[in-house]
Amino acid sequence: LLLLCSALLTSFRELLVERAGERFAFDTRRRLVQHIYRLPIGRFDNQDRADLVSRVTNDVSEIRSILSGGLIDLGVGLVTVAISITMMVIIDPVLVVIAVGAVVCVVIFVFAFGIRMKPVGLRVQYELGRLAGTVSRSIGSIRTIKAALAVDRESRTAVEHAKSVLEAGLKAAGLRACIQTITGLSVQILLIAVVGLGALRVSAGEITTGQLSAFIMYLMLLITPVALVGSVTSQLSEALGALSRIVEVESWPQESDCSVPNIDLAKPANANAVIEFEGVSFSYQHSADENGLTNVLRHLSFRVEYGSTTALVGPSGAGKSTVLALIERFYDPQEGTIRFEGTDVQKLSRDAIRSSIAYVDQDAAVISGTVRENLQLNSDAISDDECANALLSVRLIEDVSDSASYLNKDVGELGLGLSGGERQRLAIARAILADARILLLDEITSNLDSKNENTVVQALRGTSADRTLLVVAHRLSTVVDADCILLFDDGRIVDSGSHEELLRSSALYRDLVKRQMIASN
């Protein structure tokens, strides 16, 4: 009956421990994911994404393993140690002093080695993160790598990172082996010493043979937790390395925001522009020269009127896409003021601004999943009929009857199951469905032929009666009918006006148009 009760209690304990471990892992991952998703875009610009994934997955698993395994066993062992020492004191206090003194020396030694294990464990986790980042980058660009005959070079780079993981792992394994070897040897010496001294005390008549046998039995119960200390210490050092990486992520500041819950989409009586830049200068933190940060935008000032179509054109790298990123508040300017419907954006919440904007970036990002899931990214309330109409407007389907099968189509990882033009049109359809008052469109027709380009432009113009459009384009055919064209060069607006006005006034614009005509021929 006692054995049965013991088995049931052990099973119950294991269930509680495992459930607690899984709950800890879930809570930690939930907290990490929620924190990571709210980090500023600038953090993602400078951080390896695969390393972040490794922290959410591998590092949390490492900590969960030690919590639900070693530490619980060690806690149970400490209870056993306390009971064993109490019984040993009752039997023979003299032998207890010798045994406990030896155990304390072993524990001190193990913890000294454990301190050396912590940086080694941290290095193992960091090297694993670097390896994950390298492999993730290569797999994500595998077509380019194969086309450039760079498979061998990329694989060598990954193998070098794997070698670094091996070196760190071997060093950690060496320290673990030292701890366990010395711990095991110390335990054996302790056992021999107690048996020898105990035999002398038996021969002297100070304790009986039965008492010595009982003492040794309790000593054996004491030895098992002591031996476990070495194993747990090495595991704990690696878990602390993983924990420090998680704490590092949680120390990164999130996007700062104000507490304004929403904004009125109606035109304010005292505002004539939906968006206004006044003396805005901006630099990316990773684009610096020897003198510090290099300005991408320089003292930029312009206004976007309600219901207008404003085009941003100019040479590559002139700062056009950066303007859209600032409007979305992916970044904040170092100088100047950006106003949204007459209010400084610093006084508005990011969510409030973004709820008024539909944004299509130049990469035409598509989320892994089905076409329907991509179209319903803004809201699950969007119906299949609405999705079908949006797909039809950008010529992704020829007839509404084709929508059912197309909506269930899997786009593949990051949309690789679609062509570049299909990804762009899908992203545009998603923006149309967002029903936002402002559309930010960055190079939306770069992968489209002239027929599909005309279809998309007409679809956007059909929705723009009550919408404000900001369009970045290198293909000037997309924006010739814009209400206002802003000509960018070297982070500044060097001219503005309609297509005809710029043809008359700007040599740079005429040169851009001339190059377009040559390219089209």
Q: What's the pLDDT band for 326 if we cut at 50, 70, 90?
A: very high
The torsion angles phi and psi of 262, rounded to 5 degrees, stand at -160, 170
- CA 453 to mean position of chain CA atoms: 35
Residues 373-381, mean pLDDT to the nearest whole number: 84
What are the tens digits of pLDDT across the range 76-123? 777 877 888 888 888 888 888 877 777 777 777 777 766 676 677 777
Q: What's the pLDDT band for 276 if we cut at 50, 70, 90?
A: very high
Dist. CA 434–CA 429, nearest whole Å: 9
- CA 426 to mean position of chain CA atoms: 25
What are the tens digits of pLDDT across the range 18-33? 788 888 889 998 998 8
Is residue 292 predicted with pLDDT exceeding 60?
no
Q: Token digits for 54?
A: 């490794």
pLDDT of residue 156: 86
What are the tens digits of pLDDT across the range 431-464? 888 878 888 888 877 666 666 667 776 666 665 5
Terminal CA-CA length for the chain: 93
Q: Which residues of 56-65 are buried (b: 16+ CB within 10 A; e: fewer)?
A: beebbebbbb
Largest Cα–Cα distance in the chain? 118
- CA 65 to mean position of chain CA atoms: 22
The chain-wide mean pLDDT, for the chain, equals 80
Q: Token digits for 176?
A: 């673990």
Find residue 9's DSSP bridge partners.
none
The torsion angles phi and psi of 128, rounded to 5 degrees, stand at -65, -40
Dihedral of the CA atoms 56, 62, 64, 67 (nearest 10)?
A: -150
Is residue 336 predicted with pLDDT exceeding 60?
yes
Whose tokens are 């031996």? That residue is 227
Dist. CA 331–CA 275, nearest whole Å: 16
Dist. CA 258–CA 346, nearest whole Å: 7
Q: Token digits for 283?
A: 């630099």
Dihedral of the CA atoms 384, 387, 391, 393 (nearest 10)?
A: 120
Residues 133-149, mean pLDDT to the nearest whole number: 72
Residues 298-318, mean pLDDT to the nearest whole number: 88
pLDDT of residue 519: 41
Q: What's the pLDDT band for 264 if we cut at 50, 70, 90?
A: low
pLDDT of residue 521: 35
Is residue 290 predicted with pLDDT exceeding 50?
no
- Whole-number percent of the chain with pLDDT over 90: 7
Write the DSSP assignment of 97-137 as a string of letters: HHHHHHHHHHHHHHHHHHHHHHHHHHHHHHHHHHHHHHHHH
Geometric angle at alpha carbon 266, from 265 and 270, rounded to 5°: 115
What are the tens digits of pLDDT across the range 53-78? 888 888 888 888 777 766 667 677 77
Dist. CA 120–CA 168, nearest whole Å: 7
Residues 392-400, mean pLDDT to the nearest whole number: 82
pLDDT of residue 520: 43
Dist. CA 437–CA 459, nearest whole Å: 15
